[in-house]
A and B are shown apart, each in its own frame.
Chain A
C-alpha cells in the first residue's frame, strides 16, 4: 500500500506501481487539470508539485510516491479563494491561447518563483522549459515578472 496526499487529501494506492502519476491523477482522481502532452517528461504539460519540487508527472511512477505531498493545478488555490498570484497574472496579462500547456506552465512557474523571487530574463530562460506551441512565451515572460512583483508586495 502506498500512501500519499493529493491537494491535502490522503489517498491509499495498491494498484499497478509502474503506472505514471499523471494517469492516476487524471483517470482515478479526475484531476484533469494536469495534462498529457508527451509522456516522456519533455513538454511539461503534466507538471505538478511534489513537496518543494515541480515534477513532470508522466515520468514519475506510483512506486515513488509513498509519503509524498502532491499539489495539482486544482489545489494551487482553493475553490472560491483568491487565485495564486501567477494564476492572477495569467488572467491580467491574458496569457493563454489554446491554454492546454498553461496549467503545467503555472505549476512550473509557481515553483520556480519560490527559488527565484525576483528572476532575471536569463533566470527565466534557464528555469522555464515547458513547451507552448501557440507561442505565448513573450506574454508569459511579462506575466512572470508581474507575478514576482505581486508576490514580493504580498510578502512585504
Chain B
C-alpha cells in the first residue's frame, strides 16, 4: 500500500469541456506541497483524464510514444487505480506544460514529460497510479451523493460505481457531479493490492494500432499548421563547416520559393545541441523547396575536421590505447594481481559509429511570434526543445505552445532537439510559420551518432581458475563531448558504466578511459553505451571460457556467485542484483535447451546484460553459411524488469530489441571520409530487412515483485554477443568488431 498526502480539493482541477469532466493532474502529489491558498489559484494544472458523458475516456499521456508502447502502458497505470474500463480508453499526447514554482523556477506543470533511458514506466509508476486513485475517489464521492448513501457501501468496477443493492451508475454519468466534489483535507489515496489488479499485468494491445494501419495522421511529418511553409536545409556537409558564399539567384527565381535564409553555426558552448550551419530554402511545398535547394551554389568552408575519417578515428584509438588514460575506477591492486597471475587473457574489440536511422526523418513545425513560440513535432524531450527555443528567441518559455506527436522512431535521436531548434531559427529569421523536413540524406549525415571506440579487455586468473584481475580500457569518441558544462574528466560516464559486471566481483579491477577527438556529433542511441559494453564484456566472457575450457554459462554463473545486491551508482541503480542476473541467464538457458541437442549444423551462444534497471539474457541459435555468412534461426530470452505492467509490451520490446540489435551488428557503420559522412542513404547504410530477421523468438518473462524498470532498451545489448558467441561455437570465426557483415561501398 502506498499512500500520499493530499490536502484539499484544490490539488485537483476539474473543468468541463464539451460535456466532459477533465480530471487534472494533482501537481502537488508530484512536487513540493504548496499551501492551500496558492493552490486555489493554481492555473498550472494539466489534464490527465477526460471522462465523457458516454462513458468513454481519454487519457493524456505525459511521455512521448516512439514505439516503446507508453501510450498503452502509462494509461494502464492510471486506469487500474481509477478502476475504469480499459477498452473505453483512447490516448492522446499531453500538451507540454510548465509552471513557475514558489522559487520562481520553471518546473513541470503536472508530471515530467519526457521519453528516454527507459524511464517512463518507473517514473510514472507511483505518479499515475496515485492520480488514478484520486479520480476514483471523486467519482465515489459523487456516487455516494447520487445513491444517497455512504462511500463505504459503494464499490467501483470497469467505469461504474456500484451500490451494495446492485444499482450502478457510469463514470460518464457521474462526471459532472464528480467535478464539484472536494477531497477531504487529509485524504490519502490508497493503491490497490497486486492481487486486485485487473489491468496491470494483463496483456493489452497497443492503443494506436488501428490508426496506424489505416494511415491516420499521427506523426510530426503528418501535421499541418495554418499558413506553414515548407523549409528544407542545405547543411554543411563538413563537420563544423560553414557557408563561405552562396549564389541563390536561380533558387529564388523558382516559382513557389518564398524565402531563403542563412543559418550561422550556433555557439556550441551556448547550446548543447549541435546544429550544422547552412541555408534554408522556404517554399510552398517540399518538392519545390528540394528543387530550389539543388539550385543553390554554395561554397563551403570545410571547417576544422576536413581530414577526419573512419580510418583516422580508428588510428587515434589504437594510438591512445598505447598510452595511459584516465583511471575511472580502481579496486585493489591490478598491477600486482597481474604480476602474480597464472593466466592472463587480453582481447581488443572495436565498435563503429552508428546512426539512429529512425524511419521518420527529422521534421518539425515552428512558429515564432512576437511574444510566443509554437513547436509541433516528434520529440522525446520537449523540454530541450523549449529551452532551445527560449535561447534562440529570448522569449519566456513558460507559455510556449509545444506539442509532441507520435514519433516514427526515437531510439534516442529525438532526445536532441536540434530539429526543433532549426525550425525555430528558420521561423524567426523568416517571420513565417515553418514546417521543416529533413531528407534521409540530411538525417543520416547530421545525426548524433552512437560513439565509436576500441575496448581493450584483460582478465587474469590464478591456477585454480579464480578471476583475480579485470581491466577495461576504452578509447573512443565521447557521447558528451559537446555537452554544456561537462568537463572532459566527466566524459567517461556516458561511455563506461563503472559498476557494470564484473565490477565488485573481482578484487583487482581497473577501468581506464581515453578521449578520441572527433568532429562528429555524438548522442544517445537505444541503450547507449550498453550496446558496446555488452558486446565487449559478453564476447570476452566466452573467450575466457574457451581459454579455461569451461562452459560459457557455467563461467558466468561462477563469476556472478551467490545472489547479492551490489551498489550501482549510474543510471539503472542504485542496486545491481547478481541473483536476478543469474536467474535470467538460467531461465534463458532452460528455455533454449542449453547443452541439449539442437538441429544439426547449429550452435548456441549466450549473453546477459543489465541495462537501466532491467536484466536480460539471450541465447542465439546460429547456423554457419558459406562465405563467412551465418543465419540466426532462433533467439530464446529471459527478461526481468520487475513488476510487468504490460506483458504484451514486454514481449514486443523483446522481439524488437533483438531484431534491432541484429540489424545494428550485421551491417551498420557510419563511414566518415574527408570530414563528411558518406553512406547517407539506405542503399549504402545497411539496415536489416525481414529476410535476415530472427524467425523464432521465445521469451520468458520473470515474475517479479520488484518495482518496474522500463523495457525499451534491455533486450538489445545482449543480442550481438549471443550471436557472435554462437558463431564461434558453431566453428566460425570470433568477431571482435562490428559490422559483422561489412559492406564495401
Which of A's residues lie within 8 Å of B, judged by CB? 16, 19-20, 23, 26-27, 30-40, 42-43, 45, 72-74, 76-77, 83, 87, 90-91, 94-103, 106, 121, 124-126, 128-141
Decide: A94 near B658, CB < 8 A? Known: A37-B440, A100-B409, A133-B687. Answer: no
Q: Contact: B68 with A97, CB < 8 Å?
A: yes
Residue of A nearest to B659 (CB): A135
Chain B window 224-258, contacts with chain A (Cβ cutoff 8 Å), 1 for yes, 0 for no: 10000010000000000000000000000000000
Complex alpha-carbon distance, A128 and B693, angstroms: 12
Contact of B209 among A94, A124, A126 (CB under 8 A): A94
11 A-B pairs in the complex with CB atoms less than 8 angstroms apart: A27-B230, A37-B359, A40-B440, A42-B681, A73-B213, A97-B652, A99-B218, A130-B690, A132-B690, A137-B690, A137-B693
Complex alpha-carbon distance, A87 and B210, angstroms: 8
Contact of B656 among A20, A76, A97 (CB under 8 A): A97
B435 to chain A, nearest CB (A): 10
Contact of A35 among B67, B360, B411, B662 (CB under 8 A): B360
Besides A99-B406, A130-B689, 14 new A-B residue pairs in contact (Cβ under 8 A), listed by A number: A33-B214, A35-B359, A40-B682, A42-B683, A73-B214, A77-B214, A94-B648, A96-B208, A97-B67, A98-B66, A101-B359, A121-B695, A135-B662, A137-B688
Contact of B67 among A73, A94, A98 (CB under 8 A): A98
Interface assignment of B212: CB less than 8 Å from any CB of chain A: yes
Complex alpha-carbon distance, A128 and B410, angstroms: 24
B279 to chain A, nearest CB (A): 20
Decide: A43 near B408, CB < 8 A? Known: A77-B214, A133-B660. Answer: no
Complex alpha-carbon distance, A35 and B213, angstroms: 12
Decide: A40 near B681, CB < 8 A? Known: A20-B287, A102-B212. Answer: yes
Chain B window 123-144, contacts with chain A (Cβ cutoff 8 Å), 1 for yes, 0 for no: 0000000000000000000000
B421 to chain A, nearest CB (A): 22
Complex alpha-carbon distance, A74 and B222, angstroms: 14
Interface assignment of B166: CB less than 8 Å from any CB of chain A: no
Chain B window 672-692, contacts with chain A (Cβ cutoff 8 Å), 1 for yes, 0 for no: 000000000111000111110
Complex alpha-carbon distance, A99 and B697, angstroms: 20
B476 to chain A, nearest CB (A): 24
Residue of A nearest to B212 (CB): A99
- For A42, what are the chain B residues with a Cβ–Cβ distance below 8 Å? 681-683
Instruction: Please count how many residues in chain B sit with their CB below 8 Å of the partner chain's CB atoms.
Output: 63
Decide: A27 near B285, CB < 8 A? Known: A39-B439, A72-B215, A98-B410. Answer: yes
Q: Contact: A135 with B657, CB < 8 Å?
A: yes
Q: Contact: A98 with B287, CB < 8 Å?
A: no
- For B683, what are the chain A residues with a Cβ–Cβ distance below 8 Å? 40, 42
**Best-surrounded residue of A23, A95, A99, A128 (most CB of chain B within 10 A):** A99
Residue of A nearest to B284 (CB): A27
**Best-surrounded residue of B214, B359, B360, B406 (most CB of chain A within 10 A):** B359
Complex alpha-carbon distance, A135 and B690, angstroms: 9
Q: Contact: A94 with B206, CB < 8 Å?
A: yes
Complex alpha-carbon distance, A141 and B683, angstroms: 24
- For A98, what are the chain B residues with a Cβ–Cβ distance below 8 Å? 66-67, 358-360, 406-410
A75 to chain B, nearest CB (A): 9
- For B451, what are the chain A residues with a Cβ–Cβ distance below 8 Å? none
Q: Contact: A132 with B359, CB < 8 Å?
A: yes
Q: Contact: B286 with A96, CB < 8 Å?
A: no
Which of B's residues lie within 8 Å of A, judged by CB? 66-69, 205-206, 208-210, 212-219, 221-222, 224, 230, 285-288, 357-361, 406-411, 437, 439-441, 648, 652, 655-660, 662-663, 681-683, 687-691, 693-697
Q: Contact: B214 with A83, CB < 8 Å?
A: yes
Q: Contact: A96 with B440, CB < 8 Å?
A: no
Q: Contact: A129 with B68, CB < 8 Å?
A: no
B340 to chain A, nearest CB (A): 46
Q: Contact: A97 with B69, CB < 8 Å?
A: yes
Q: 5 tightest A-B contacts by CB?
A: A33-B215, A135-B659, A100-B408, A98-B67, A137-B693
**Best-surrounded residue of B358, B411, B648, B690 (most CB of chain A within 10 A):** B690
- For B662, what are the chain A residues with a Cβ–Cβ distance below 8 Å? 135
Q: Contact: A23 with B287, CB < 8 Å?
A: yes
Contact of B689 among A33, A102, A129, A136 (CB under 8 A): A129
- For A126, what are the chain B residues with a Cβ–Cβ distance below 8 Å? 691
- For A40, what are the chain B residues with a Cβ–Cβ distance below 8 Å? 440, 681-683
- For A132, what are the chain B residues with a Cβ–Cβ distance below 8 Å? 359, 690
Q: Contact: B213 with A87, CB < 8 Å?
A: yes
- For A37, what are the chain B residues with a Cβ–Cβ distance below 8 Å? 359-361, 440
Complex alpha-carbon distance, A96 and B287, angstroms: 29
- For A134, what are the chain B residues with a Cβ–Cβ distance below 8 Å? 67, 409, 656, 660
Complex alpha-carbon distance, A87 and B66, angstroms: 20
Q: Contact: B209 with A139, CB < 8 Å?
A: no
Decide: A34 near B67, CB < 8 A? Known: A23-B285, A94-B648, A131-B359. Answer: no
- For A101, what are the chain B residues with a Cβ–Cβ distance below 8 Å? 359, 408
Complex alpha-carbon distance, A130 and B205, angstroms: 24
Q: Contact: B215 with A94, CB < 8 Å?
A: no
Q: Contact: B361 with A36, CB < 8 Å?
A: yes
Residue of A nearest to B221 (CB): A36
Complex alpha-carbon distance, A101 and B680, angstroms: 19
Q: Contact: B693 with A138, CB < 8 Å?
A: yes
Residue of A nearest to B357 (CB): A133
A124 to chain B, nearest CB (A): 7
- For A39, what are the chain B residues with a Cβ–Cβ distance below 8 Å? 439-441, 681
Contact of B682 among A73, A87, A131 (CB under 8 A): A131
- For B439, what are the chain A residues with a Cβ–Cβ distance below 8 Å? 39
Q: Contact: A141 with B690, CB < 8 Å?
A: yes
- For B408, what are the chain A residues with a Cβ–Cβ distance below 8 Å? 35, 98-101
- For A38, what are the chain B residues with a Cβ–Cβ distance below 8 Å? 440, 681-682
Q: Contact: A133 with B287, CB < 8 Å?
A: no
Complex alpha-carbon distance, A95 and B212, angstroms: 10
Contact of B286 among A23, A77, A121 (CB under 8 A): A23
A11 to chain B, nearest CB (A): 16
Q: Contact: A103 with B359, CB < 8 Å?
A: no
Q: Contact: B690 with A102, CB < 8 Å?
A: no
Complex alpha-carbon distance, A26 and B361, angstroms: 15
Contact of A96 among B212, B360, B689, B695 (CB under 8 A): B212
- For B68, what are the chain A residues with a Cβ–Cβ distance below 8 Å? 97
Residue of A nearest to B682 (CB): A42
- For B409, what are the chain A residues with a Cβ–Cβ distance below 8 Å? 98, 100, 133-134
- For B657, what are the chain A residues with a Cβ–Cβ distance below 8 Å? 135
Complex alpha-carbon distance, A125 and B683, angstroms: 18
Contact of A34 among B215, B219, B288, B689 (CB under 8 A): B215
Q: Contact: A140 with B361, CB < 8 Å?
A: no
Complex alpha-carbon distance, A94 and B649, angstroms: 9
**Best-surrounded residue of A19, A27, A37 (most CB of chain B within 10 A):** A37
Contact of A91 among B67, B213, B221 (CB under 8 A): B213
- For B663, what are the chain A residues with a Cβ–Cβ distance below 8 Å? 133, 135
A62 to chain B, nearest CB (A): 10
- For B217, what are the chain A residues with a Cβ–Cβ distance below 8 Å? 32
- For B212, what are the chain A residues with a Cβ–Cβ distance below 8 Å? 90, 96, 99, 102-103
Complex alpha-carbon distance, A136 and B210, angstroms: 16
A77 to chain B, nearest CB (A): 7
- For B205, what are the chain A residues with a Cβ–Cβ distance below 8 Å? 91, 94
- For B693, what are the chain A residues with a Cβ–Cβ distance below 8 Å? 135, 137-138, 141
Contact of A103 among B213, B288, B357, B440 (CB under 8 A): B213
Complex alpha-carbon distance, A23 and B285, angstroms: 9
